[in-house]
Amino acid sequence: MAEARVSEDQDQFSCPVCLDLLKDPVAIPCGHSFCMCREKFTPRPVLRRNYMLAEVLEKLKKTELQAASPVHCYAGPGDVECDSCTGRKHKAIKSCLVCLASFCETHIRPHYQCPAFKKHALVKASSRLQEKICSQHDKLTEIFCHTDQSLICYLCMMYEHKGHDSVSVAAERNKKQTELQEEQRKHQQRIQEKEKKVQELKQTVDTLKRSAQAAVEDSERIFTELIRSIEKKRCEVRELIRDQEKAELSRAEGLLDQLEQEIADLKRRETALEQLSHTEDHIHFLQSFLSLCVSSGTVDSYSIPFHQHPSFDGVKKSLSDLKERIETFCKEEFSKISPHAAAVQILPPEPKTREDFLKCNTHTHTHTHILLISV
How large a percentage of the chain has pLDDT more than 90?
Answer: 30
- What's the DSSP call for residue 29? T
List pLDDT tens digits, range 153-163: 989 999 899 89
pLDDT interval class at 372 (50, 70, 90): very low
Residue 152 has pLDDT above 70, yes or no: yes
Count CA within 13 A, CB hemisphere, residue 233.
Answer: 8
Q: Dmax of the chain from CA atoms?
A: 192
Q: How far apart are CA 36 and CA 347, in angstroms?
A: 85
Edge to edge, what strands does the sheet with 166-168 contain? 150-152, 143-145, 166-168
Residue 367 has pLDDT above 50, yes or no: no
> For position 266, what pLDDT does the model report?
87
Q: Which residue has the higher pLDDT, 311 or 246?
A: 246
List pLDDT tens digits, range 231-249: 999 999 999 999 999 999 9
Average pLDDT over residues 68-79: 70
Mean per-residue pLDDT over the chain, rounded: 80
Sketch out the chain's domains with CATH numbers: 2-68 (3.30.40.10), 94-171 (3.30.160.60)
CB atoms within 10 A of CB 104: 23
Q: Look at residues 88, 121, 120, 128 and name the one whose alpha carbon lies nearest to residue 104.
A: 88
Q: How far apart are CA 144 and CA 213, in angstroms?
A: 64
Cα angle, residue 258 at apex, residues 312 and 242 outer, rounded to 5°: 25
Residue 296 has pLDDT above 80, yes or no: no
Task: Find out whether the peptide bond into 43 is cis, omega within 30 degrees of 0.
Answer: yes
Q: How far apart are CA 202 and CA 209, in angstroms?
A: 11
